[in-house]
Amino acid sequence: MSGDLNFNKIMGAGLATAFVILIAQQVSGAIYAPKAPEKMGYFVDVPEEAAAGAEEAELPPDWGTLIPVADLAAGEAAFARCVACHTINAGGANGIGPNLNGVVGRAVASHGGFAYSEAMTGHVSVDPTWSLDALDKFITAPARYVAGTKMSFAGLRDTEARVNLIAYLRSQGSPGFAVPAPDPARQPGGAAAGAAPAATEGVAPVEGAPVGPEAAPATGVAGQSPTQAAPAAPAAATSPAPPNA
């Protein structure tokens, strides 16, 4: 009898403890329940286009300078991350992605036998062909450049690695794709040479001074024009011709 009584006491104590815990949770939840403010204290307006605008302002690679010196071996090594979805050999089969032999200069979404996504077929209106610039933008961030593409590759942000990869792709079936000439403005000293003529702009010619190839450099006193600084020719130097000459 005493054993049953002790068991009842233990069970009662356990139930009472559980009841106290539940009551404490309810009371503390009611007292300390967080309440969201009706109006935010601060509003920071950050346009979504800000980050995209900074990237769009970045100049594309100077292909005429970079392609001839690109590291094809490094480009082939970079392509190793693509082999799970693409083949590169001539006549290679399509995989998860289309065969990429001759992709540089090829029409977008045009490789036979591959089912392109609607996003990629619609991208033809933006890039009719896979130019160097188009490939560069797509490989940088595929899902951002072609929204809705089935390509799950996150992208290659390193510019040097991207240039090497594109140069390797060009060497595989697209060696005849024309590379633009180097941009003179982006060559060493190009900007300085282009800015040199600007130093003479805005200088007003001296009134009465000759203009053109006949103009002589001013060698007189500061503040005088060349005609003012030169002495007048003597009158005897120009004698009139005879009337009957």
Say if 108 falls within a structural domain: yes
pLDDT tens-digit profile of 19-57?
Answer: 888 888 777 766 765 665 555 454 444 444 444 444 445
Range of the domain at 103: 60-171
Average pLDDT of the residues of the chain: 77
Say if 193 falls within a structural domain: no
Say if 41 falls within a structural domain: no
Residues contacting 161, CB < 8 A, separation 6+? 74, 78
Say if 88 falls within a structural domain: yes
| Residue in the structure block whose two tokens are 């060493």 | 188
Say if 31 falls within a structural domain: no
Is 0.85 topped by the overall pTM?
no
pLDDT tens-digit profile of 205-227?
Answer: 445 545 444 444 444 444 444 44
Say if 85 falls within a structural domain: yes
Say if 211 falls within a structural domain: no
Say if 38 falls within a structural domain: no
CATH number for the domain harbouring residue 87: 1.10.760.10
**In the predicted model, is pLDDT for residue 203 greater than 90?**
no
Whole-angstrom distance, CA of residue 131 vs CA of residue 127: 8
Alpha carbon separation from 50 to 58, 61, 148, 157 (Å, rounded): 13, 22, 22, 19
pLDDT at 153: 92
pLDDT at 28: 73
The H or E element containing residue 5 is helix 2-31
The domain tally of the chain equals 1
